Amino acid sequence: MTRTQEQFIKAIRRAIDDEHGQWEISNGSLRGVGTIRGPIVRVSLRHSEHNVTTPETVRELKIWDEPTFSRHVFITVLPFSTGWTIILGVAHAPWGERRDSTITFKRAFEILANPASVFS
C-alpha cells in the first residue's frame, strides 16, 4: 500500500468515527484494511444531507410533492492490482439520477473533509 493510500484509509476511519457522523460505510468493510497483512477490499462511504428544501418549481410540476428531500454523496474505493480507483457518486435529488465520476486522491480528501462542497 502506498503512503497516500495509507493516509486515505486513515482519513476514512476518522470520517466514519467523527462525532458529527458525517460519513457511514454503505458497502464493504474496513476490517483489516491498512494493516500489514490486511486485505484491500472495495469500500463505499455515504454522506447524506437531510431536510433540504424542495424547490417550489419542482413541487408545482408535481415531480416531488414532499417539502424536503435528502441528497447523497458516495465515495467508493476500488482496489486493483495496478492501483486504486476512487469513484465519486452524487445524487443531488431523488428525482434526478446519480452521477458518478473518477476523482483523484486529492479531491477525495477534500470531499471527505467537506462533503457539501459537491453540491455547490
Residue 45 C-alpha cell reads as 462511504
Contact status, residue 106 vs residue 91, Cβ threshold 8 Å: no
Contact status, residue 47 vs residue 18, Cβ threshold 8 Å: no
Domain ranges of the chain: 3-101
pLDDT, one tens digit per residue, over 59-100 is 999 999 999 999 999 999 988 878 889 999 999 999 999 999
What is the predicted pLDDT for the residue at 37? 46
pLDDT, one tens digit per residue, over 16-54 is 887 777 898 888 766 555 444 455 567 889 999 999 999
